[in-house]
Structure 1
Amino acid sequence: MKLAAIYALLAAIATATNISAQAASLLVYTGAYAIALSIMLGTGVGLIVKYALDKRYIFRFKAETAAHDSKVFILYASTGVLTTAVFWGFELSFHALFGTDQMRYLGGVIGLAIGYVAKYELDKRFVFRPQAQPTC
């Protein structure tokens, strides 16, 4: 139960980072591709933050080298492709349905919450499992 609470807290931090990066992006650029670019930027920032938090506080992972860490990060990002599709799907659906930034962000938060539950299981099984970790 303690691990679940810590994971939820870290997921909330990564979610806040993602949404904040999106909002900041929209302050800088409001052109034709503003929404798409903000979602991509938020995804990238959120991915890096979530990886750093998960590997340290959830999985207690220590890379052998920078190359090893890079390979594990690529595996981590790869397992997030489906969960990212869920997140983007919710966020863009809420945007299409409601047309406001607040509702788009709510859709993003819901999508991230669903995605992070699935992501934990994927990471536990495929990324941070000792035999799945590539060595350099």
Structure 2
Amino acid sequence: MSAGLSRTTLVLRYAGFAVLATLANLAVQRAVLALDAGPRGFMAAVFCGTLAGLVLKYLLDKRWIFDDRSRGAAAHGRRFSLYTAMGIVTTAIFWASETAFWLVWQTDAMRELGAVLGLTVGYVVKYRLDRRFVFTGSASPRPA
């Protein structure tokens, strides 16, 4: 948002959006796993959940974190591509954590705990990458 966005407001807003994206991710995963609980279903659930969370988080971050008001397919395509590219490493953190918890405990509760922990670490890294590489032309807040 504006340069006057306080660190507290930024952190609370970003964390809230991360929670919303995480809930969307896990809800989509549960829906996919309800259709197929096998290994293929697990892989599809992780992919579809990640995509749902990514799109929601992009839309929220673009407007409410980085105050990016660019419009049009070209602008959105470029930003979303960069946003997605920055998310590759952070998605790897999330997937590794979720998968490790699933392989060790093989329960939905532990899989989801692994997902939440991986997403938390990933979102902290992602904010820094997005601020530096994706939303460079917007009024990106840079808390002290």
TM over 0.5: yes
Structure 1 spans left out of the alignment, 5+ residues = 132-136
Per the TM alignment, residue 66 of structure 1 is displaced from its structure 2 partner at its CA by 1.4
Aligned residues of 2:17 and 2:57 also touching (Cα < 8 A): yes
Whether 1:100 and 2:104 are equivalent positions in the alignment is no
Whether 1:46 and 2:53 are equivalent positions in the alignment is yes
Higher relative contact order (CA 8 A, sep 6+): 2
Per-residue CA deviations over 1:96-118 (Å, capped at 9, x if unaligned) read 11010111011001000000000
Aligned residues of 2:36 and 2:42 also touching (Cα < 8 A): no
Q: Partner amino acid for 2:136?
A: R
Taking the aligned partners of 1:12 and 1:113, their CA distance within structure 2 comes to 9
Q: Partner amino acid for 2:30?
A: A
Per the TM alignment, residue 65 of structure 1 is displaced from its structure 2 partner at its CA by 1.8
Q: Partner amino acid for 1:80?
A: G
- Residues matched between the structures, number: 131
Aligned twin of 2:98:
91
Taking the aligned partners of 1:103 and 1:127, their CA distance within structure 2 comes to 33
Aligned twin of 2:4:
none
Per the TM alignment, residue 29 of structure 1 is displaced from its structure 2 partner at its CA by 2.2
Whether 1:10 and 2:17 are equivalent positions in the alignment is yes
Taking the aligned partners of 1:96 and 1:46, their CA distance within structure 2 comes to 23
> Of the candidates 8, 22, 25, which is equivalent to residue 29 of structure 2?
22
> Of the candidates 71, 79, 84, which is equivalent to residue 77 of structure 1?
84
Per the TM alignment, residue 39 of structure 1 is displaced from its structure 2 partner at its CA by 0.3
Per the TM alignment, residue 32 of structure 1 is displaced from its structure 2 partner at its CA by 3.7
Whether 1:62 and 2:63 are equivalent positions in the alignment is no
Q: Percent identity?
A: 43
Stretches of 4+ aligned residues off by more than 3 angstroms: none
1:80 alignment partner, SS class: helix
Taking the aligned partners of 1:20 and 1:2, their CA distance within structure 2 comes to 27
Aligned twin of 1:134:
none
RMSD of Structure 2 on Structure 1 (CA)? 1.1
2:67 alignment partner, SS class: coil
- TM-score normalized by structure 2? 0.88
Structure 2 spans left out of the alignment, 5+ residues = 1-7, 139-144
Aligned twin of 1:35:
42
